[in-house]
Amino acid sequence: MAVQRPPGRRGRPAPVPGRHFDDGRGLNAFADRIAVRCHRCDTPGWVLASWQPYRWTVRFRCTGCSVALDSGDWVGAVCMQGRRPCGYCGHQWLYVHRRIASGVRSPATFPARCGQCGRSSDVDVSATPLRDAEPADPHFGLPLHLVEPTRAGLLWAYNAEHLQALHDYAAATLREHGGVRNSSMFSRLPQWMKLARHRVLLQRAVERLQKRLLQG
């Protein structure tokens, strides 16, 4: 039986030492302020976002090269997709589905070989943002500033609040959850972060990123 607790700030359960309670918040709960690096000059900066009904309003201004990004811009990894009938035999659909990393310029067409006649035709493609392809902010696809490799896997975070949430999770010896699980950030963590044997490793990695954030 789950332990009943009085509500804490914003109606969340009050923290109990040694226990972690998953209140169902998704990763987007931390997406209003994200520490990133400029995709052009690698200068650290911040993506600032505010949630209005049904959409985010977002901005990024680089203090190094003065590049500006606003809602709707995307500079991260993309998926290029397209299809067309074979330009020679016409009987076989040709498909293109390619992942393109951030910073790589992609052409407007890709060649595809027909499985029936064996000849290649150019296929027009369109780009779709890949928001889970690499450690990047979900608004523009900028590389994250708070990234730390460990022997078990890669740790990344958006901001100080996100880091603290991960630290509290790592430090807990008992982990509980509310009614909603699949949409919560903690339910979607990589498996290595959930293992008890990696608790100390995760805590220390988080603490290194917290120091980096304080140092700017």
173-198 pLDDT, tens digit each: 888 776 666 778 998 999 999 999 99
Beta strands 19-22 and 174-177 are parallel
Q: What is the pLDDT of residues 45-73, one digit of tens each?
A: 999 999 988 899 999 999 999 999 999 99
Single pTM value for the model: 0.82
Dihedral angle, C-alpha 135, 142, 35, 132, nearest 10 °: -30
Mean pLDDT (the chain) is: 88
Q: What is the pLDDT of residue 4?
A: 36
- From 55, 113, 102, 112, select the one nearest 79 (Cα to Cα): 102
Instruction: Please tell me the distance from the alpha carbon of residue 114 to that of residue 91, in angstroms, as a whole number.
Output: 9
Cβ neighbours of 167 (radius 10 Å)? 19
The structure tokens listed for 194 are 């959930």
SS3 118: coil
Q: Which residues contact 88 (CB under 8 A, 6 or more apart)?
A: 114, 117, 119, 121
Q: What is the pLDDT of residue 52?
A: 87
Q: What is the pLDDT of residue 207?
A: 97
Q: What is the pLDDT of residue 11?
A: 47
Instruction: Please tell me the distance from the alpha carbon of residue 112 to that of residue 93, in angstroms, as a whole number.
Output: 10
Q: What is the pLDDT of residue 181?
A: 64
- From 55, 57, 58, 105, select the one nearest 78 (Cα to Cα): 105
Going by the DSSP 8-state scheme, the letter that residue 67 receives in this structure is -
Q: What is the pLDDT of residue 15?
A: 57
Given a contact cutoff of 8 angstroms between Cβ atoms, the answer to whether 37 and 192 are in contact is no
Instruction: Please tell me the distance from the alpha carbon of residue 165 to that of residue 202, in angstroms, as a whole number.
Output: 12
Place of tokens 């035709």: 121
Regions of the chain short of the pLDDT cut 70: 1-18, 133, 178-181, 216
Q: What is the pLDDT of residue 3?
A: 33
